[in-house]
Amino acid sequence: MKPTPALPTVDTIAAECLAVRLRMINRVVTNIYDEPLRPLGLKVSQMNILVAAAKLKVARPAEICDRLHLDVSTLSRNVERMKARGWLEVVPDEDGRAQPFRLTAEGRKLLRKASAGWRKSQEQATKLLGKKTVQLLCEAAGRLPHADSNR
């Protein structure tokens, strides 16, 4: 019989938990990016989708989700809202199941407007977290395991 390992104490969890810190930073940094987008009626969550779609020309939902590590149902709702605003449009496809979409001219114009504030946000967030932290975060993001990597 191995002895049961001692459970972490509340103090240990409070002092070390990565999840709580990452989530805090995420809230603060998200706000830094959302702020200048507010007059445009855009948030950084949707801006990310616009950027990903712009890179792909024609975007299949599953592909965007794989790139952004987003649940497909989450994207579905977001695309719905963004189509309603005229930023995205569905592209016809032979496969009757597929719903590929692309940026509209409006969406592209919006993204251009959003780019101006982005640089300031990026600088502000980088100053807050530190250059080295940002670099390591970007590298870590590139290493995230993709959903179907073990199928």
Residue 25 CB-density burial (10 A; 0-12 exposed, 13-18 middle, 19+ buried):
middle
The dihedral sign for the CA sequence 132, 134, 137, 139 = negative
| Structural contact between residues 54 and 106, judged by C-beta atoms closer than 8 angstroms | no
Rule CB under 8 A: is residue 7 a binding residue for a copy of itself?
A: yes
Q: Which two tokens stand for residue 142?
A: 């590139």
CB nearer to DNA: give 2 or 100. 100
The two beta strands, 101-103 and 88-90, are: antiparallel
Among DNA, a copy of itself, none, what binds residue 97 when CB lies within 5 to 8 Å by partner kind? DNA
In the complex, the residues that contact a copy of itself under the rule CB under 8 A are 5, 7-11, 13-14, 16-30, 32-33, 44-45, 48, 51-52, 54-55, 68-70, 111-112, 115-116, 118-119, 121-122, 125-126, 128-130, 132-134, 136-138, 140-141, 143-145
In the complex, the residues that contact DNA under the rule CB under 7 A are 23, 27, 31, 34, 43, 45-46, 60-62, 69-81, 94-100
